[in-house]
Amino acid sequence: MLIQAIGDLLPSAVGVAISPVPIIAVILMLGTPQAKSNGPAFAAGWVAGLVIVSVVVLTLASGASDPDSGTATGVNWFQVVFGLVFLGLAARQWKSRPRGDGEPEMPKWMAAIDTFSPVKSLGLGALLSGVNPKNLALTAAAAASIAQADLSGGNAAIAVGAFVVLASLTVVGPVAFYLVAPAKASGVLMTVKDFLGVHNAAIMITLFVVLGVKLLGQGLGAVAS
């Protein structure tokens, strides 16, 4: 049961992990004079945001393991709605993608990352993981799937931990890499940043389509059963 629950949340975890903007943000932080304090602070905020949202949703969705309960019905419709939302976001991303040699547009706050303090970096990490609409929806979907799995308290905690670890690999990983081998990490991470910046639209379109179909199919299947 635990293995199945972890398998069900894998797409959501990968969806959170493959988020170009947070990855680019943490890489930019690791290129600033305060990298050794701001990088870990950003990673800590990222993890904290995922944990908080997961615990809150898991608490609210308790009882969803009973397919006939109102909570289970609510979770199923949540999946349907957000499946449609993700498909809509994929369409919007496609329409707004850069044409020809156009430069992909990045958030304006990225230009000020070198002025961030550790506290601001911590807050940014938490906002991008726990408040960012896409990640909020995916984390909520993962927590709801855990609630539906009817796990014991200990196993539910393990499932949440697995989700947070998987969803944090692309943020915590670069920070750990930098702290262990800063000279080697610099070139590798900048190459990753440039790739994500150029292919941001394609990555997000693919991600939204896959997750939208997954959530929509899962929700509709449960509603129809």
Nearest partner of 224 among 12, 61, 57, 79, judged by Cα: 79
pTM: 0.84
The C-alpha atoms of residue 124 and residue 141 are separated, in whole angstroms, by 22
Tens digit of pLDDT at every position of the chain (225 positions): 788 888 888 888 998 998 888 999 999 999 999 999 999 999 999 999 999 999 998 888 876 666 666 777 777 787 888 889 889 888 888 887 776 655 566 778 888 898 999 999 999 999 999 998 888 888 988 888 888 887 888 999 999 999 999 999 999 999 999 999 998 988 898 898 888 887 878 888 888 898 888 878 877 877 776
- Domain boundaries of the chain, sorted by first residue: 2-76+109-200
